Amino acid sequence: MGCYALLLLISAFSSLAVIHSAGPQQVHTWAFFIQMTWQTLCHLGLHYKEYYLQEAACIRLPIALSALMLMTQKVTSLALDIHENKVRVGLPSEERRSFCWHLLQALPLCTYLLCFPTLLGGPLCSFRRFQAWVRYSKAPFSSGLLWAATQKGLGALTLGLLNNIVRGYISALDDLIDCTHFDCVYVVWTSALCLRLTYYSHWLLDESLFLAAGLGLDLGHHQYSAAADRVVMDTDIWTLETTNTIAGFTRTWNKSTAQWLRRLIFQQSSSHPLLATFAFSAWWHGLRPGQVFGFLCWAVMVEADYRFHRFFGSVAKSRLQRLLYQTVTWCHTQLVVAYIMTAVEMRSVSMLWRLLSSYNSFFPLVSVTVLLLLVKK
C-alpha cells in the first residue's frame, strides 16, 4: 500500500487510544464514531479525486480503503465485545502502571487489528477467537489446514478462469446504452453473473490465505470453541445460486459481514432496523450514488420478499404448484439481485439513470407493488 498504509496505522492507533481511555459503557460509541468519521473522510478524498478532479486514483488507495473497511469491522466488533464484557482491557483507574506495561497490554490488540490476512479480505473473526488461536495452537500448521487452503485456492483459480471465459461471450455493461426492449435484461443479468464470479473467486482466495496463516485451527474442547465465537466463512456459492428468496440471498451474501451488520446495527436499532442496516451499509461502502440507491432498494426488496413468501408460500399445495412457485421466485430473485448488484457497481450517475430507465426496473417494481398491496391488506 506504500504511503497509504498510514491510513490503517492512524486508524489502528487511534482505536487503541479510545479502547484504553474510554470506559466499557462508552467505548463502543466512541470507537464507532471515530472509526466511521475517519473512514468517511478517506472515502471523500477518493471521491474528490475521481469525480471533482477527474483523475484516476492510484490503485494502492482503493486497496487501502478496502482494508480500512475491514479494520472498521474489527474495531467495532472488539468495542462491542468490551461493551458486553466479553473482553476485558486495561485496569481500573486507581491502579497505575508504567508506560511500558500499558504498551505491552496494547500489543495483543494491535496484533489483532493489523493482522494482514484478515485485512486483505477476511473473514471477520472475534478478538477472543484470534487470541485463542495465537495462544493455544500446538503447531503452526497442519495437513488439514493445508488441504483446506489448497482446495479454496484451486477453487478461486477455477472461478477466475471461468469468469474470463464467460466475459468473452457476453455483452459489456456499457452496451446498456444501445439495448432495446428486453435485451437490456440479458445484459444486466450476465454482467451481474460476472460480478458474482469475481466476488466468489476473491472470497475463496481470502479464505485460502486465512487458513494458510493458521487462523482456522480447530480448538477442540477449548472454551473459545463456543458457537458464538466460531468463524463464519463468507463463501456459500450453492446457497447463493439456488435460493429462491432475496432474504436468504442477503443472509448468505458475504456471511461474516452480514452477521457483523446484524450485530452492529440491526440488533441495536429500536425502529426500522432493516432500513437502518442497509443505510449504514451504504455509508460503510462509501456513499457513491449507485451504492446509496442500490442498498436502499435492497432493503425494500428484502421487506417485500418477507411479506411475499409469508403470504404466498402457503398457497402452493401440490408438488407441481410448489415447483412452479420455486421456479418463478428463483428467476425473480436472480433478476432483482442482478439489478441491485449492477446499481451498486455503477460509478456514474448517467449509467445509473440508464439502468433505472431500462426494462430491468420492471422486476423491482413488481416487488414494490406486491409490498404495497400486502401492507394495505
Q: What is the pLDDT of residue 373?
A: 87
85 has catalytic annotation: no
92 — pLDDT class (breaks 50, 70, 90): very low
Q: What is the pLDDT of residues 152-172, one digit of tens each?
A: 999 999 999 999 998 887 766
Cell of 24: 466499557
Whole-number percent of the chain with pLDDT over 70: 87
Residue 181 scores a pLDDT above 80: no
Q: What is the pLDDT of residue 195?
A: 93
Q: What is the pLDDT of residue 232?
A: 78
In degrees, rounded to 5, the angle at the alpha carbon of residue 346 between the alpha carbons of residues 339 and 303 is 40
Residue 94 scores a pLDDT above 50: no
Query: Nearest Cα to 193, choosing from 297, 356, 341, 330?
Result: 341
83 has catalytic annotation: no
Burial track 42-51 (b if 16+ CB lie within 10 A, e otherwise): bbeebeeebe
**Sign of the C-alpha dihedral computed for residues 213, 135, 223 and 138 taken in this order:** positive
Q: What is the pLDDT of residues 217-244, one digit of tens each?
A: 666 545 554 555 567 788 899 999 999 9
173 — pLDDT class (breaks 50, 70, 90): low
Q: What is the pLDDT of residue 101?
A: 63
SS (H, E, C) 49-81: HHHHCCCCCCCHHHHHHHHHHHHHHHHHHHHHH
Kindly state the average pLDDT of the residues 306-310: 89
Q: What is the pLDDT of residue 176?
A: 59
Residue 367 scores a pLDDT above 60: yes
Rounded to two decimals, the pTM is: 0.89
C-alpha 143: how far from chain center: 30
The catalytic position among 43, 254, 332, 360 is: 254
Average pLDDT over the chain reads 85
Q: What is the pLDDT of residues 35-65, one digit of tens each?
A: 999 999 999 988 887 777 677 778 898 899 9
- Which DSSP symbol is given to 48? I
Residue 278 or 377, more confident: 278
Residue 205 scores a pLDDT above 90: yes
Q: State the Cα–Cα distance between residues 25 and 36, nearest whole angstrom.
A: 19
Kindly state the average pLDDT of the residues 276-292: 94
Residue 145 scores a pLDDT above 50: yes
336, 361 contact by CB (below 8 A): no
93 — pLDDT class (breaks 50, 70, 90): very low
H-assigned helices in 213-254: 237-242, 246-252
Q: What is the pLDDT of residues 312-363, one digit of tens each?
A: 877 777 888 888 989 999 999 999 999 999 999 988 888 888 888 888 899 9
88 — pLDDT class (breaks 50, 70, 90): confident
Q: What is the pLDDT of residue 371?
A: 87
Residue 144 scores a pLDDT above 70: yes
374 — pLDDT class (breaks 50, 70, 90): confident
Residue 89 scores a pLDDT above 70: yes
The catalytic position among 20, 47, 202, 285 is: 285
Cell of 49: 479525486
Q: What is the pLDDT of residue 357?
A: 87
